[in-house]
Amino acid sequence: MATYRVYFIDETDHILTAGETFEAADDAGATSLAERLCREHPKCAAVELWEGTRKVSRHMREAAD
């Protein structure tokens, strides 16, 4: 398991919170969890995911139907 940190980003490209740390087996699992957490955060427009000093990804939240 690796430790990841996700940052929730608003529409103006500002970080909403100090971030959340969690463990995941791999980058794919961590990305999936980060995207789910963003959907649960009403002002989240994107997430940025890091493993230590390595930037894993940045994803925009999908528009609600």
**Domain membership flag for residue 27:** yes
* DSSP H or E stretch at residue 34: helix 27-40
The CA distance from 21 to 4, in Å, is 6
Q: Domain limits at 21? A: 2-53
User: φ and ψ at 16, to 5 degrees?
Assistant: -80, -40
Region 9-17: mean pLDDT is 90
| pLDDT tens readout for residues 25-40 | 999 999 999 999 998 9
The CA distance from 44 to 9, in Å, is 6
Q: What is the pTM of this model?
A: 0.83
Number of domains in the chain: 1
